[in-house]
Amino acid sequence: HGFLTDDRSPPSLPSLPIIGSLLSLRSESPPHIFFQKLKKRYGDIYSLMMGSHKVIIINNHRHAKEVLLKKGKIFAGRPRTVTTDLLTRDGKDIAFADYSATWRFHRKIVHGALCLFGEGTTSIEKIICREARYMCEVLAGVQSSAIDLAPELTRAVTNVVCALCFNSSYKREDPEFEAMLQYSQGIVDTVAKDSLVDIFPWLQMFPNEELRLLKQCVSIRDKLLQKKYEEHKADYSDNVQRDLLDALLRAKRNAENNNVSTNDVGLTEDHLLMTVGDIFGAGVETTTTVLKWSIAYLIHHPQVQEKIQEELDSKIGVDRHPKLSDRGKLPYLEATIREVLRIRPVSPLLIPHVALSDSSIGEYTVQKGTRVIINLWSLHHDEKEWKNPELFDPGRFLDEEGNGVCSPSVSYLPFGAGLRVCLGEALAKMELFLFLSWILQRFTLEMPIGQPLPDLQGKFGVVLQPQRYKVNARLRFFSPLRSFCLKT
């Protein structure tokens, strides 16, 4: 094996001094597809140099699970990059924070707050349904014109996380709301996409248009977070916990009352702001992206849409709206959501992991500090695990009778796994189910005449987003009364 650098290191791409393997990485394809292609030449697991960092790329589920689950604690680190440091004030959030007591603590608080919401008085189901209803009303108002649903989907999803984080919601015309949509897209477009600045931190010394845009967007976001924080501090009470920010404030007060230095436990104002910022950003961008992918695939596969609607008509009908408790009754919709998360994973390379100590993956040794990238795209498109992986087929997630969902392969990890597993999985699944069932119960989504089909390739970045496209949302009921007087 000519590629081995020493006996027990993974095969490595040819490396050049200083530039590392960057030159051989110049490729037409986005990184997740390029890394999948390199499998043929270097095998399922190989390494390369990005700047001065050694990076191991993993392309199969066996090694992925070894890293995430079996050796989860060893590989729970995160790298620091110029862009994520800018976004998170040097890793004072959850997603981009290195493994530490502070990270563990913040994860626990957020997890607790998210769980509470499931049972709380204003349950998350009510909030999602309120937004779904409003969105459907807006869609009904633009009958028979081709529209880009993305802004409306983003508004609905944003209001759900707004309720969760800040116990508030926005009206459609609110300029703050529109500003938020803008800065968030700016951040998604520029953060952590392994642009040069992250490989060569010294490049940030030079004028860089992307970095300038990122700084500008982050500063707008920070002002907004600061404002919410001040408002909450002003009318905080120990007796009620309205939202995630209250939960974080309470933890901070508790520490202060017990004379614990908030600096030691990482409960500084910066930490609180960055943690809320994380949940807010993750809450908006991920769910919206999946909704956009789902609709793009339904436009490409009208027979799938029809089947979901048949299921909705027979199990729910038109006299009431879908509820969370209907999830078990709608296996075809559930299977469709799973298939969308397989074929276009939100986060095709997860977030990079870092080895916290010397260890091994499979038969290979790994040194402390090595970055590990799990190529989820390879796992979800592995021909040994999935028949025709590029084919969109919700049926693969249905059991033989078609009455329930199943897991046809172990090579499926849309939310990651282990210590760093997604914190919002349950929330995201509730939202996807409710928003899609509400929309499809009332509307048929169609290709406007003369418009091209949505592009299914995706723009790679911190999330894999579809290109913009327009659809017609045609009301399925002739009587407008009937569609909106569904019982609640």
Site for ligand PLO, rule CB under 6 A: 95, 184, 187-188, 191, 221, 278, 281-282, 285-286, 346-347, 351, 462-463
Q: By C-beta, is 111 or 320 nearer to ligand HEM?
A: 111
- Beta strands (DSSP E) in 328-448 are 353-354, 359-361, 364-366, 371-374, 443-446
Picked from ligand HEM, ligand PLO, none, the partner binding residue 32 (CB below 5 to 8 A depending on kind) is: none
Per the DSSP assignment, residues forming a β-bridge with 364 are 361
Long-range contacts of 249-258, Cβ-Cβ distance < 8 Å, separation of 24 or more: 251/105, 251/109
Structure tokens at 10: 């993974």
Tell me if 286 contacts ligand HEM by CB under 6 A. Answer: yes
Under DSSP, is residue 119 helix (H, G, I), strand (E, B) or coil?
helix
Integer Cα distance of 432 and 330 in angstroms: 13
Tell me if 372 contacts ligand HEM by CB under 6 A. Answer: no
Integer Cα distance of 60 and 39 in angstroms: 10
| Residue 76 φ/ψ, nearest 5 degrees | -90, 5
Is residue 432 within 8 Å of residue 324, measured between CB atoms? no
Amino acid at 468: R
Picked from ligand HEM, ligand PLO, none, the partner binding residue 281 (CB below 5 to 8 A depending on kind) is: ligand PLO
Contacts of 175 (CB under 8 A, 6+ apart): none
Cβ–Cβ contacts within 10 Å for residue 130, how many? 17
**Member of 415, 433, 435, 443 binding ligand HEM (CB under 6 A):** 415
Picked from ligand HEM, ligand PLO, none, the partner binding residue 188 (CB below 5 to 8 A depending on kind) is: ligand PLO
Integer Cα distance of 106 and 371 in angstroms: 23
| Residue 457 φ/ψ, nearest 5 degrees | -75, -45
Tell me if 348 contacts ligand HEM by CB under 6 A. Answer: no
What separation in angstroms does the CA of 460 have from each of 195, 289, 349, 371? Answer: 12, 12, 10, 20
Picked from ligand HEM, ligand PLO, none, the partner binding residue 428 (CB below 5 to 8 A depending on kind) is: ligand HEM
Closest CB 274 distance from ligand HEM, rounded Å:
11
**Member of 277, 322, 389, 416 binding ligand HEM (CB under 6 A):** 416
Q: By C-beta, is 84 or 441 nearer to ligand PLO?
A: 84
Picked from ligand PLO, ligand HEM, none, the partner binding residue 427 (CB below 5 to 8 A depending on kind) is: ligand HEM
Q: Is the dihedral of CA 98, 101, 105, 111 positive or negative?
A: positive
Residue nearest to ligand PLO as judged by C-beta position: 281
Residues 75-114 that bind ligand HEM (CB under 6 A): 94-95, 107
**Member of 214, 255, 279, 486 binding ligand HEM (CB under 6 A):** 279
Closest CB 369 distance from ligand PLO, rounded Å:
22
Please give the size of the binding site for ligand HEM, defined by CB under 6 A.
Answer: 24
Closest CB 267 distance from ligand HEM, rounded Å:
17
Residue nearest to ligand HEM as judged by C-beta position: 424
Integer Cα distance of 384 and 379 in angstroms: 10
Picked from ligand PLO, ligand HEM, none, the partner binding residue 247 (CB below 5 to 8 A depending on kind) is: none
Query: Where do we find the tokens 């943690």?
Result: 275
Tell me if 428 contacts ligand HEM by CB under 6 A. Answer: yes
What separation in angstroms does the CA of 434 have from each of 123, 140, 171, 177, 402? Answer: 14, 18, 21, 23, 21
Q: Is the dihedral of CA 457, 460, 465, 471 positive or negative?
A: negative
| Among the residue ranges 11-19, 300-308, 398-406, 423-431, the one whose residues contact ligand HEM (CB under 6 A) | 423-431
Picked from ligand HEM, ligand PLO, none, the partner binding residue 33 (CB below 5 to 8 A depending on kind) is: none
Binding mask 469-488 for ligand HEM (x = CB under 6 A): --------------------
Integer Cα distance of 453 and 447 in angstroms: 7
Closest CB 120 distance from ligand HEM, rounded Å:
15
Closest of 341, 297, 289, 340 to residue 459, by C-alpha = 289
Q: By C-beta, is 106 or 221 nearer to ligand PLO?
A: 221
Closest CB 280 distance from ligand HEM, rounded Å:
8
Structure tokens at 22: 């960057």
DSSP-assigned letter for residue 131:
H
Residues 317-346 that bind ligand HEM (CB under 6 A): 341, 346
Torsion of the alpha carbons at 62, 65, 66 and 69, rounded to the nearest 10: -160
Q: By C-beta, is 186 or 416 nearer to ligand HEM?
A: 416
Closest CB 299 distance from ligand PLO, rounded Å:
24
Using CB under 6 A, list all residues that contact ligand HEM: 94-95, 107, 278-279, 282-283, 286-287, 290, 341, 346-347, 350-351, 414-416, 420, 422-424, 427-428
